[in-house]
Chain A
Amino acid sequence: MTANTQNPHLSEEQIFNLLDGDCAPTEVAIYNTHLANCASCHALWEEYSFLDSQLKNILLEKAPENFTDKVMDKWQVAGQTKTDWVYRHPPVLAWVSIGLITTLLVISGYYSLLSIKAYSLGDITQPLLDTSGKWFDFNGFLQQEWIWNGFFIINGILALMIMDKVLFRPFFEKKRQALIG
């Protein structure tokens, strides 16, 4: 704070703080008292105060008259581009279904290889895997009819959801934008 023997004047930072209202009430009173009694500080205060007022008045530049129209034109194009983005990036559901199908193909392919191996050994009547005593008969599990029914139903639903998101929604969204625009 000012009014000391080293620096009897207000610093420029203090003047700016006073201008910006960034002072405690006690500081405001002290600064104002000093400004009332110090011609040089008062002159500096006037200079910065006027600069502030001028900057507030002249800084705003008017945008060109057709600015909004140009933005709306770009917005129309941006809306179509957003639709294209949907096509380029497959949805998460697609990746999940691909993963499920791949997993089941790998499993079924594994058992196919086992069958081929058993056949090549000349003993196709004996099951290659002796599942007795094991706590989970995975081979028998995959032979359950409801497993395959569920597999086809789930993938059918996933396929319909993907078609809806990738094909039908963008198509109708474009129609709606055309009506609004």
Chain B
Amino acid sequence: MQSNAPDIVLIDRILAGEASAYRLLTSRHQDYAFTVAYRIVGNREDAEEIAQDAFIRAFRSLSSFNREAKFTTWFYRIVFNAAVGFKRKHRPPTQDLAETNQLFTGVTESTDQIRLNERQQYIKQALDYLAPDDVAMITLFYLQELSLEEIAEITSVPANTVKVKLYRARKRMAVELNRMLKGEAQSLL
């Protein structure tokens, strides 16, 4: 089977019972599904479980998928709802320290690479200060470059509200970055 077959073609083959098509569809979207779940729940193990269950839920509902819609929009809504539902039921997880301490890896990194890692780590930490919904919107906006309408459909929030939330979230991120770096953000950025 061609690995670059469109999602809708893979869906038809999955409905016909082809396991290889389902494997291909899963591997194609696993990183994005995992990222959306991880950005909301903040824990890799939980995010993995949520993303896996989302794929199974999508499989069970595949026969009712509206073929005129985008698969990613429909699927990410499943992931989003699962992650938000999980977060509401469980207490906030402890910070993934392994992630936090991955700043300086290896002794041969160049100064530029270290500075790049620092910037990226500060940005990741700034994301932690946002509400889960805001993080999800930023993730969907930047990761998949989804339109405001698509994000609105995934998060069940009106498009105008998505725009306002995105604006506030990005502004909040910049504020948090400046606060964390205590004025050094300007020079790093």
Contact = CB atoms under 8 A, between A and B. Distances in A.
Interface of A: 12-13, 16, 46-48, 50-52, 54-64, 67-68, 70-72, 74-75, 78, 82, 176-177, 180-181
Given A50-B189, A54-B119, A181-B19, A63 B56 contact: no
B142 A55 contact: yes
Given A61-B38, A68-B23, A75 B56 contact: yes
B35 A67 contact: no
A12 B30 contact: no
Given A60-B143, A71-B56, A75-B19, A51 B48 contact: no
Secondary structure at the B interface, as helix, strand, loop or mixed, is helix
Q: How large is the interface on B (under 10, 10 to 19, 20 to 34, 35 or more residues)?
A: 35 or more
A55 B59 contact: no
B17 interface: yes
Nearest to B33: A63
- Top 4 A-B pairs, shortest CB-CB distance: A63-B34, A63-B30, A61-B35, A55-B142
B60 interface: yes
A172 B161 CA distance: 50
Contact of B142 (A46, A52, A72, A82): A52
10 contacts: A12-B171, A51-B174, A56-B142, A63-B33, A67-B48, A67-B52, A70-B52, A71-B55, A75-B59, A82-B60
B87 interface: no
Interface string B4-48: 000000000000011100110011001111110011000010011
A51 B23 contact: no
Contacts of B56: 71, 74-75, 78
Interface of B: 17-19, 22-23, 26-27, 30-35, 38-39, 44, 47-48, 51-53, 55-56, 59-60, 119-120, 123-124, 138-139, 142-143, 166-167, 170-171, 173-174, 177, 186, 189
B123 A55 contact: yes
Given A51-B189, A70-B48, 12 more contacts: A46-B189, A51-B123, A54-B120, A61-B31, A61-B34, A61-B35, A61-B47, A67-B34, A67-B51, A68-B26, A71-B52, A74-B52
Nearest to B186: A47
Contacts of A72: 19, 22-23, 26
Nearest to B142: A55
Nearest to B143: A59
Contacts of A50: 189
A50 B173 CA distance: 12
A180 B17 contact: yes
Contact of B173 (A13, A51, A75, A181): A51
Given A12-B171, A67-B30, A68-B23, A51 B18 contact: no
A46 B33 CA distance: 31
